[in-house]
Structure 1
Amino acid sequence: MSKHVLLVDGMALLFRAYYSTAMMNNFMVNSRGIPTNGIHGFTRHLLTAVDTFSPTHIVACWDMGSHTFRNDLFPNYKANRSAPPEQLVPQFDLVKEVTESMDIPNVGIPGYEADDCIGTLASHYQQDAHVTILTGDQDILQLLDDQVHVALLKKGYGNYDTYDADRFVEEKGIKPKQMIELKAMMGDTSDHYPGVRGVGEKTALKLLMKHGSLDAILNNLESLTPAQKTKFETDIEMVHLSRQLAEIRCDVDLSCSLDEAHYRPHRDKVIDKFNEFEFKRLGDLV
């Protein structure tokens, strides 16, 4: 396929860029007193990915506030997350000015996470294009498909751990979509839901490979060890809920046509925005 869409997990890039420099107290405050370290790093990550993957189309996906339908299902979802640092807060809106200057659509839907927007667009675009998802979040691996690859950011710039569906199956022994059921059982400490307490990744993987699906496991609890059976029976409601929390939605009510996502930036417009933010060297990457 000649069309290649890069779906950018905006928050993942912004947070990674911010913390990689904030740890050294480098906030890159500009002459107006605005910290720009997250924006600068995000932009460099984005431009490096464009150079690496040569996409014909790009969309940036964003979280739109912290409350989503998952919080309605489970109020403690991500309840362990602290408030964003003071220096990062003004960068949430300003970073989108960079993507706008590059004529990259910014997509986000209140009540859903950026992952759900990525899942929906990937499902739609893969009918007509190859899709690469740029993120630092391994949860996205559940979206791997014949035409959908994932590039996980590694330390530094231009370093990626790139997955296709075959590599995932070879490493994990399960299909990408089964990652949802894996997380339903083992839970997710980052997102703060428990799954089946006492069942870790190793046991969950073993059960999935043996039985084929979570439903098959739940329909055959008698075949589990007495200890495993007790754990599943105790957390039977939570494992069903955790499956809903773990699944990235691919049916969000949003649209962004390939024509809108066509990447054809006007260099002068981009350089003007870089100059406004006082990014001296990034213009060389455009």
Structure 2
Amino acid sequence: MTSTNRIMLVDGMALLFRAFYATAMSNYFMVNSKGTPTNGVYGMLKHLFTAINHYQPTHVVCCWDMGSKTFRNDMFPDYKANRGEPPVELIPQFDLAKEAIESLNIPNVGVAGFEADDCIGTLSKEYSEHSQVFILTGDQDMLQLLKQNTTVVLLKKGYGNYAEYYEDSFYEEKGITPAQMVDLKALMGDTSDNYPGVKGIGEKTALKLLMKHQTIEGILGNLDALTKGQRSKIEEGLEMLHLSRKLARIHCEADVNCSLEDALFYIDDERMRDKFEELEFRNWRKNIIGVS
């Protein structure tokens, strides 16, 4: 069953970081008269409105990480330990970004102990039962959430450039299903999230094994069919393989909810204008919301 609802779930962190670094590389921080940098918020909103104008959602929700520690750190203390502190120019923009989103009547959603990914996974699971869901992100991890009514829209360079993924075409392109993405990451690890997977097994080998044996259980049940090298690597890295799978899986039962009524996309022009003027955004009608 489908409805006319088109729900856009926005990965706030992904958009904010992408927008910040796009201009920070040239030291362009757009500092306002209060001395606060606003480049990340400005670019994030431009990404948001460009996508809204393109996909025409009826509902929008923005999801955030709430602090750096999550249940994954409890399982594996080194999870994301390779990431330094955010740049000093970005720190004040986290709150400003949420305020700007709020001024658009878009709910900010996040829950302590979970990542934005988990909130998006939980909400997409619920909404996709009755609505069309679009996940706007820059994070390939979200591809595991693809299903019948769920599209993942990955931001590419610039504004308005997207790689769209659908459940059907994903298999044709990658040779594995979205659900197998979790096992793929468990085998090969993830350098950006700082967990190793099975030492010595890269993407190519992991894909080959999953195409042949479907799942980690399938691989473990057929160790005799593996090369000697593959077998010994997996046997030696068994504990980390199982742990990496838990780290890789987006948790779709987070304690988060947002009613369709709250998510209904409706902008109060006056409220938006007041916030954008307060942030001292120049030419925002033309440059952010795309109205000349």
TM-score, normalised on structure 2?
0.97
Alignment equivalent of 1:122, drawn from 121, 124, 141: 124
Return the alpha-carbon distance in structure 1 between the equivalents of residues 285 and 273 of structure 2: 6
1:221: Cα distance to partner?
Answer: 1.1
Q: Alignment partner of 1:150: what SS? A: strand
Q: Alignment partner of 1:90: what SS? A: helix
What's 1:275 paired with?
277
1:223: Cα distance to partner?
Answer: 1.5
Q: Deviations over 1:106-158 (max 9, x none)?
A: 00011000000000000000011100000000010000001000110011111
Return the alpha-carbon distance in structure 2 between the equivalents of residues 142 and 23 of structure 1: 31
Pairs within 5 Å for 1:145-156: 145-156=147-158
What's 2:258 paired with?
256
Amino acid at match of 2:125: S
Question: Structure 1 stretches of 5 or more lacking a match?
Answer: none
Q: Alignment partner of 1:133: what SS? A: strand
Q: Alignment partner of 2:257: what SS? A: coil
Return the alpha-carbon distance in structure 2 between the equivalents of residues 267 and 4 of structure 1: 22
TM-score, normalised on structure 1?
0.99
Question: Structure 2 stretches of 5 or more lacking a match?
Answer: none
Amino acid at match of 2:162: Y
Pairs within 5 Å for 1:57-72: 57-72=59-74
What's 1:106 paired with?
108
Q: Aligned pair 1:217/2:206, yes or no?
A: no
Q: Aligned pair 1:198/2:222, yes or no?
A: no
Alignment equivalent of 1:8, drawn from 7, 10, 34: 10
Return the alpha-carbon distance in structure 2 between the equivalents of residues 24 and 218 of structure 1: 49
Q: Alignment partner of 1:176: what SS? A: coil
What's 1:19 paired with?
21
Return the alpha-carbon distance in structure 2 between the equivalents of residues 157 and 98 of structure 1: 19
8 Å contact kept, 1:154–1:161: yes
Q: Alignment partner of 1:29: what SS? A: coil
Return the alpha-carbon distance in structure 2 between the equivalents of residues 185 and 144 of structure 1: 20
Return the alpha-carbon distance in structure 2 between the equivalents of residues 246 and 215 of structure 1: 16
Q: What is the RMSD of the two structures over their aligned residues, measured on CA atoms?
A: 0.8
Return the alpha-carbon distance in structure 1 between the equivalents of residues 61 and 193 of structure 2: 25
Return the alpha-carbon distance in structure 2 between the equivalents of residues 46 and 58 of structure 1: 10
Q: Alignment partner of 2:91: what SS? A: coil
What's 2:53 paired with?
51
1:283: Cα distance to partner?
Answer: 2.4
1:167: Cα distance to partner?
Answer: 1.8
Alignment equivalent of 1:179, drawn from 138, 156, 181: 181
Amino acid at match of 1:196: V
Provide runs of 4+ in structure 1 moved above 3 Å.
Answer: none
8 Å contact kept, 1:271–1:283: no
8 Å contact kept, 1:10–1:61: yes
Return the alpha-carbon distance in structure 2 between the equivalents of residues 130 and 220 of structure 1: 39
What's 1:158 paired with?
160
1:227: Cα distance to partner?
Answer: 0.6
Return the alpha-carbon distance in structure 1 between the equivalents of residues 225 and 196 of structure 2: 23
Amino acid at match of 2:211: M
1:280: Cα distance to partner?
Answer: 2.0
